[in-house]
Structure formats: structure tokens, C-alpha cells
Amino acid sequence: MEYTTRLGSLADYDKGKVIPIDDDPKNYVFSNIFEVASQSAPYERVAVAKNFEYVIEVARAEGSSDWYSATHDEFVLSMDGVVEVQFVKLDDPAAVAPPESQGAVKLAGEPAGRKMGRVVLSRGHQGLLPRGAAYRFIAHAPACLMIQTVEGPETVQKWAEICQNS
């Protein structure tokens, strides 16, 4: 028997659902990352999961993003498409993301520091966004990213729009 793995993509996904027996479907905060990414602006970092201060953000990568930095590690997983991530070691990371700040902080312009290198992620590849570095995404065709991070100024929460409400 030959098996076929069913992955999702921005263009082709098959969303499931909560079927209540005696419950409120909202308790399951049910959404689909491809749907969320499709319906958001490029690089809008939409929370699809949250547990206290920690979040998982979803973004549609399309073109070049702004530069971001955080005081803690973040991780990015491509769920669809190809995305390049460029890194710069910030000369003064605290000037961008204050030491007590959490989550990704958007830089006002270009980062000042040494080039660290780059990674290019295809679907299923997970990369480190190291603390104290600035990073940006570049995607020549729309891609779907999932980011493991902490809630911050760039985190967009629009649960009523993205979740199964009834």
C-alpha cells in the first residue's frame, strides 16, 4: 500500500471543525492557519494560539518584510512556500528591543550591525530567529509562516474573525 501525505497550503486546505455534543465550540479556539494567512495583510502577525504570554503567530509572507528583533529566541516554520530569512547582529539590541520587552519589535529602518547570514526555508523547514539579532523575511511568491514567540507589539489578535464561533 502506497500512502499519500496530505499537507495544506494557502491555495489548497481542507479545514476541519468542532462538532459539539454538549459544549460551546468557542472553548476550542478553532482556526486554520492557511485561512488566517490568506485573509490577512502580508506580514500581519496574527495570533492563532496563546497560552499566557506565549503565542503562535501566523503570517503570509509576500515580498520583503520589515526588520524585527526580540530579546528572546523565536522560531519560524514554513507551512507553505519558500521564504528567505536574513539576519543582522545588532550593535545595540537594547536600543531596538528594550531588555524588559517581549515579543517581536519592528525596527524603524535598516538594522545597524554585522551581517550574520541567511537561511532559505521551504515547506516543513524550521529556523531559529536568535535573540538579539534583527531579521527580515523575503518571499518571491506567497508563503505561509508559523512563528513561535511571545505576545508583543506586533501581535494581532482578532479571534472572533478567525475562530469557529458556533
Partner 1 sequence: MAMSETAHQAAASNLPLVMRTEIGAIDNVTGYRTFSAGSFSFARDEYFARITWPEGTHTMPVDAFLRAMMRDVAWGFFYGTVNFDDVIGTVNHYGEVTLFAGRYNDAYHNAGRDREERFPSEVLMPLFKAIMSDWTNQGFDPFAAPMETGAPWGSKNGHNESAITRTRVSAKRIVGLPGDTPLRTDANGFPVNRMFPDLDQSTPIVEPEPGFEGEVWAYNLFDYLSRSDVTWNPSVCSVVGESLFCPTTEEFALPIDHGNDRCEWFITLSDEIDWDIKDKETGKPRAKVITRAGDVSCMPADIRHKGYAKKRAMLLVWENGSPIIPELILKGEAPIVSVTW
Bridge partner list, 111: none
DSSP 27: G
**Number of residues assigned to the chain:** 166
Taking the C-alpha atoms of residue 110 and residue 100, their distance in angstroms, rounded to an integer, is 22
Q: Which is nearer to partner 1, 92 or 108 (CB)?
A: 92
| Residues lying near partner 1 in the complex (CB under 8 A) | 2-8, 13-23, 25-35, 48-52, 54, 56, 72-75, 77, 79, 85, 87, 89, 114-128, 130, 133, 146, 148-150, 159-160, 163
The least CB distance from residue 46 to partner 1, in Å, is 11
User: H or E segment at 156?
Assistant: strand 155-156
Q: Which is nearer to partner 1, 4 or 108 (CB)?
A: 4
The least CB distance from residue 149 to partner 1, in Å, is 6
User: How far, CA to CA in Å, does 5 sit from each of 8, 33, 81, 98?
Assistant: 10, 18, 17, 43
Q: Which is nearer to partner 1, 27 or 108 (CB)?
A: 27
